[in-house]
Amino acid sequence: MRPDLVLPADSACELMKRAMLSKAARAKRQSIIDACRSMNGLGINQGTSGNISLRDGDGFLITPTSMPYDEMKPEDIIEMRFDHSVVGDGRPSSEWRFHLDILRERADVNAVVHAHPIHCTTIAIMERSIPPIHYMVCAAGGDSIRCAPYATFGTQELSDNALAALKGRKACLLAHHGMIAVGDSLRSAMWLAVEVENLAHQYVNCLHFGEPPLLTPEEVENVAKRIANYGVYSAPK
């Protein structure tokens, strides 16, 4: 067991807590499960490699490690605190650290979606960012979707790199790994995750012809003002 991850041993109390989950608490946990199950159908994830977190009171809820989405139940969703402690005896996703750090450091973020979409991951393997090839790049909060430098999964270094890449942004790539999308709601984070994968797909296709022409900084600024209230998108604070 890692010393920085505190797992209380009082499983009897946890069983009682599970039995007493309110209807609202169960619905919130079920929304995470539903989003996990939809990731594969939406083409932004494969298998159980993705993970999702959602702010909850003074902490957050996160998917458990290595559990097939179709087998998840509301009681399986892990509750964590920002002091790294886990409520109960479950084990959170191996990527719990960057979920925790993003939610703790970004008051505008209530949901974090991490996945390994094919095209995002292809670009991330090449250690590239997605430049302003299309105006929808602005939906992530800037003129590009940055690629964070590589670090081993589950480490503080990876979390630090992700936080830096997400500064002023709502999405980033992780070199040789995948992508992260955040939002003020789970719906908005999922929407953005799909949009970022669409942009990555477009960029990969463009590269068959060479380096694509880019939007000018002036047009990026113009679009950013217009897109602030587009769909479920909301600009980062």
Contact assessment for residue 80 and residue 87, using Cβ atoms and an 8 Å cutoff: yes
Pick the catalytic residue from 14, 95, 195, 197. Answer: 95
- Listed residue (112, 126, 120) closest to 198, CA to CA: 120
- Examine the residue annotation and report whether 95 is marked as an active-site residue of this protein: yes
Beta bridge partners of 81: 59
- In angstroms, the CA 60 to CA 86 distance is 10
* b/e per residue 105-130 (b: at least 16 CB within 10 A): ebeebbbbbbbbbebbbbbbeeebbb
- Listed residue (36, 44, 162) closest to 103, CA to CA: 162
Contact assessment for residue 102 and residue 163, using Cβ atoms and an 8 Å cutoff: yes
Contact assessment for residue 174 and residue 124, using Cβ atoms and an 8 Å cutoff: yes
Contact assessment for residue 99 and residue 93, using Cβ atoms and an 8 Å cutoff: yes
- What are the catalytic residues? 95
